[in-house]
Amino acid sequence: MNRILPYAVVASFVLGATAASASDVAAGKEIFGRTCQNCHSVEVGVNKVGPTLWDVVGRQAASVPDYVYSAAMKANKSTWTPANLDEYLADPRGDLHGVKMFFKGLPEPKDRADVIAYLATLRP
Q: Please tell me the predicted confidence (pLDDT) of residue 28.
A: 98
In this predicted model, what pLDDT tens digit does every residue of 70-93 receive, in sequence order?
999 999 999 999 999 999 999 998
pTM, to two decimals = 0.80
In this predicted model, what pLDDT tens digit does every residue of 43-74 receive, in sequence order?
999 999 999 999 999 999 999 999 999 999 99
From 48, 60, 64, 49, select the one nearest 85 (Cα to Cα): 60
**Amino acid letter, residue 29:** K
Q: What are phi and psi of 123, to 5 degrees?
A: -135, 155
- pLDDT band at 5, cuts 50/70/90? very low
Is residue 1 pLDDT above 50, yes or no? no
Give me the residue spans of the domains in the chain.
5-119
For 5-119, CATH gives 1.10.760.10
- pLDDT band at 115, cuts 50/70/90? very high
Cβ-in-10-Å burial (0-12, 13-18, 19+) of 67 comes to middle
